[in-house]
Structure 1
Amino acid sequence: MNTTVRFAPSPTGHIHIGNARTALFNWLFALKADGRFILRFDDTDVERSRREFAQQIERDLEWLGIHPHAVVRQSDRVPVYEAAAERLKAAGLVYPCYETSEELERRRRIRLSRRLPPVYGREALKLGGEEKAALEAEGRRPHWRFLLPNFRDNPFETERTEVHWDDIVRGPQTVDLASMSDPVLIREDGTFLYTLPSVADDIEMGVTHIIRGDDHVTNTGAQIALFNALGAKAPSFGHHNLLTSVTGEGLSKRTGALSISSLREAGIEPMAVASLAVLIGTSGPVVACRNMEELAAHFSPSSSSKSAAKFDPAELRGLSRNLIQETPFEAVEDRLAAMGIVGEKAERFWLAVRGNLETVGEAVDWWRIVTEGIQHPVDLSEEDRDFVRQAMNHLPPEPWDDQTWTAWTSVLKERTGRKGKALFKPLRVALTGLESGPELANLLPLLGREETLARRP
């Protein structure tokens, strides 16, 4: 059986690093098994779902290096869900309920006051035909619940009913169906909640493995029961630990916290995001992987801890810097060209500055310094100005190479007696306008003798 996974986001906002973690776990799992990855938009919530969010999610996944084998929208598949619902109704496995949210909340409080579990008591199963007709005459429309198989003969006498599975991430898991309320599958307006469309699609699309956040562990028990009710074998499940902010708060698409699009706009390298999203909160080290194949070699679902992992955006910059320092010119040539960094100097320039960058976008600042001149007024003491002016008189003749800097400064040490910071800092400030940056041995050949002389203070 071919491995098939799916990532099923709701297009109600921008996906964040936590959502990306789920997508990447599934992508890498499929990659290692030479399987299929389906992007399936859970867009049955018509009021909140937006096509622009779906399009942004596709762009975000593409940027991360995830390339779905198929893209599906649940809003296009309503007849499939209606057919599944009719099968369940015909089998007596779903039933109509007429309670309002206020009535349900009042019952929940009563059960809690009696020290009973706050689960739905299946009161709707007691309604006769006339009672249902009367409620509908009042204008009420039913929502439909799935009757969990947690009883023998009498649905009002539930008993412990364990659902077991060997979780891909967490190992052996058990959920007691008697501890749960019958899940609502269909809203009052006839639209579907997540559960039924998800299970119906998983069956029809041949999904073999479902990997998602551990906030779904309890739901899995009910969903396995629903797979069985529809005559299908449930896929294998895996539930990874969730990511939180540094302060321990949950991430949300609605707030845009740590959204993938914002990280991209900040110039963070996609593989830095992917590496941290996958490897944080696992038993292994967090390393900057250069591509998905390398990340897949580090990926092991079972290495995830069972506690939430705190995601620190500051770690991204370190990983991004590590990746950039090893990135060859060919890998960024197009991105540099888009910033105007072109010509015969472009490759040598990239190799000179990449070790000092946290984002590729920062390269344009150094390109301006090299090609246009100092961008800020030079701050030198009069003594240092005199030293730099004298130094310009001892510039070696061209052609220049990566040994020119050493030759020049060796002469200056002998003639001025300066060394160390007193020698190098004034020259750096005079040539770049800054007190730190790429090795001047690499920048000097890019400037050339004429441009270097032009920067005499």
Structure 2
Amino acid sequence: MTAPLVRFAPSPTGYLHIGNARPALLNALFALRHGGRFLLRLDDTDAERSTDVFADAIAEDLAWLGIVPDLVARQSDRAAIHDAAAERLKAMGRLYPAYETQDELERRRRRQLGRGQPPLYDRAALELTEADRAALEAEGRRPHWRFRLDHRSVTWTDLVRGPAHVDCASLSDPVLIRADGSYLYTLPSVVDDAEMGVTHVIRGEDHVTNTGVQVQIFEALGHPVPVFGHHNLLTTIDGEGLSKRLGHLSLRGLRDEGFEPAAVRSLAVLTGSAEAVRAVATMDELAALTDLAQISRAPAKFDPHELDGLNARLIHAMPYAQASERLLALGVPDDRAEAFWLAVRANLAKVAEAGDWWRVVAGPVTPVVPDPGFVAAALAVLPPAPWDGETWKVWTGAVKAATGAKGKALFMPLRLALTGLEHGPDLAGLLPLIGREAVVARLSGE
């Protein structure tokens, strides 16, 4: 395979959600796996709904996921290229004007359905004479423009689905240009893919029918047809499609909740594939696991609760260097941050939770002392400074010898007195961080 150029072409009309992350990542990972390039092309031809705020948010969300585009483009900057392609299609008779209103089309569809006929456009506009068109325009009508399909089957070998086809005889001639002159998605997408050299189009299976239409447009314009791959879509556990309205599944919402991008990547990509869903730390590792031919044809049901487990596993294995800046932001001093991280990470589900444990280390803490006599005995055998990772073992051994306590009866009173909590990280790591002076104070009830 020559180095591929793939693209992700979202509309900047809302925030990206986990369902958008799937095609973005599959494209980026395909490029990474095959030494190719990734194009971010903003489909901003909907001028009323597209905003710079959403465009900037898309770039931020992709960067958070670990996707850095090699190329960035806006379809709105390429209008002249789209216009030229439209004029070529008009000149060859493949793009023709139609004047029906939506109400007229709807009435026609209802009549067809009532007769048991498929509700296809009947190409009545092709029968109009120049005089007919002039009369309609004199009434104030402006044409929309339809692409005249060849009534044949379009076939291709799909990267995900294998041999695929669309019978274009079963489709209405699609509208490519609205009556106000604006383009629908179909034509600009084909023109930009061709002009920008996109070699592989990897997108959701909801675009399969579009592919039959777009292949004919590629061919009509004399452009090479890219390789297509149509992956299954992420749905909710109940099978509901994901949308931009599901704010809790927006990428920025997941980021704000403290999920690691690697957890989101792993779930978005591995769900609905032959690979078991697991925490994959890097893009390179995920690319090596991602084979489009191994993606299931069944819907990929996304369970956000799985993120919790994936996130925790990533945190438990996360090296200090990856967490260091966030620990400093949580108030953990630089000279103690690495030891602290290694002591607490196994008890975290999210990095931000480390802040709670730093407050336990730094204090103040309200000790819980159900047996003052036991705590006094423990204080009496407290080892001298300096302390290290063996101090806890030495101290609890001395407390056991002095009191006869063992197991939970030995360890729980000490944990309660030092942290005020019944659970938490291994005290062998926390004790040197708390320090002897603070430990004395807590055991003394100060």
TM above 0.5: yes
What does residue range 36-115 of structure 1 map to in structure 2 within 5 Å?
36-115=37-116
Cα distance between partner residues in 2 of 1:121 and 1:106: 13
Cα distance between partner residues in 2 of 1:199 and 1:250: 26
Counterpart residue number, 1:366? 357
Cα distance between partner residues in 2 of 1:138 and 1:257: 49
| Cα distance, 1:378 vs structure 2 | 4.3
Match of 1:344, SS state, is helix
| Cα distance, 1:138 vs structure 2 | 2.1
Q: Report the AA paired with residue 312 of structure 1.
A: D
| Cα distance, 1:203 vs structure 2 | 0.5
Counterpart residue number, 1:10? 11
Match of 2:120, SS state, is coil
The alpha-carbon distance between structure 1 residues 179 and 107, as it changes in their structure 2 partners (threshold 3 A), is: same
Selected match of 1:297 from 288, 295, 315: 288
| Cα distance, 1:340 vs structure 2 | 2.2
| Cα distance, 1:14 vs structure 2 | 0.7
What does residue range 334-353 of structure 1 map to in structure 2 within 5 Å?
334-353=325-344
Counterpart residue number, 1:158? none
Q: Is the 8 A contact 1:13 1:256 kept in 2?
A: no
| Cα distance, 1:379 vs structure 2 | 4.6
Counterpart residue number, 1:444? 431
Q: Deviations over 1:199-227 (max 9, x none)?
A: 00000110000000011111110010110
Q: Is the 8 A contact 1:12 1:254 kept in 2?
A: no
How many matched pairs? Answer: 443
Match of 1:191, SS state, is coil
Instruction: Work out whether 1:324 is the aligned partner of 2:315.
Output: yes
| Cα distance, 1:387 vs structure 2 | 2.1
Q: Deviations over 1:248-295 (max 9, x none)?
A: 211111343511100111110111111111111111111211111111
What does residue range 23-42 of structure 1 map to in structure 2 within 5 Å?
23-42=24-43
Cα distance between partner residues in 2 of 1:171 and 1:431: 62
What does residue range 274-313 of structure 1 map to in structure 2 within 5 Å?
274-313=265-304
Q: Report the AA paired with residue 10 of structure 1.
A: S
Q: Is the 8 A contact 2:367 2:418 kept in 1?
A: no
Counterpart residue number, 1:395? 382
| Cα distance, 1:386 vs structure 2 | 3.4
Cα distance between partner residues in 1 of 2:373 and 2:92: 94
Match of 1:262, SS state, is helix
Q: Is the 8 A contact 1:394 1:412 kept in 2?
A: yes
More deviation, 86-95/104-113:
104-113
Identity %: 60
Counterpart residue number, 1:189? 180
Cα distance between partner residues in 2 of 1:125 and 1:417: 98
| Cα distance, 1:124 vs structure 2 | 1.3
Cα distance between partner residues in 2 of 1:45 and 1:80: 17
Cα distance between partner residues in 2 of 1:390 and 1:198: 77
Counterpart residue number, 1:428? 415
Q: Report the AA paired with residue 455 of structure 1.
A: R
Counterpart residue number, 2:23? 22
| Cα distance, 1:343 vs structure 2 | 2.5
Counterpart residue number, 2:120? 119
Instruction: Work out whether 1:216 is the aligned partner of 2:203.
Output: no
| Cα distance, 1:182 vs structure 2 | 0.9
Q: Is the 8 A contact 2:312 2:350 kept in 1?
A: yes
| Cα distance, 1:73 vs structure 2 | 0.5
The alpha-carbon distance between structure 1 residues 385 and 108, as it changes in their structure 2 partners (threshold 3 A), is: farther
TM-score (norm 1): 0.94
Match of 2:28, SS state, is helix
Match of 1:77, SS state, is helix
Counterpart residue number, 1:354? 345
Q: Is the 8 A contact 2:367 2:442 kept in 1?
A: no
What does residue range 116-195 of structure 1 map to in structure 2 within 5 Å?
116-150=117-151, 161-195=152-186
Cα distance between partner residues in 2 of 1:99 and 1:422: 84
Cα distance between partner residues in 2 of 1:247 and 1:426: 47
Cα distance between partner residues in 1 of 2:386 and 2:379: 16
Cα distance between partner residues in 1 of 2:185 and 2:372: 71
Q: Is the 8 A contact 2:89 2:95 kept in 1?
A: yes
TM-score (norm 2): 0.97
Cα distance between partner residues in 1 of 2:119 and 2:376: 83
Q: Deviations over 1:59-100 (max 9, x none)?
A: 000010000001101111110100000000001101111112
Cα distance between partner residues in 2 of 1:395 and 1:204: 75
Identify unmatched segments of 5+ residues in structure 1. Answer: 151-160
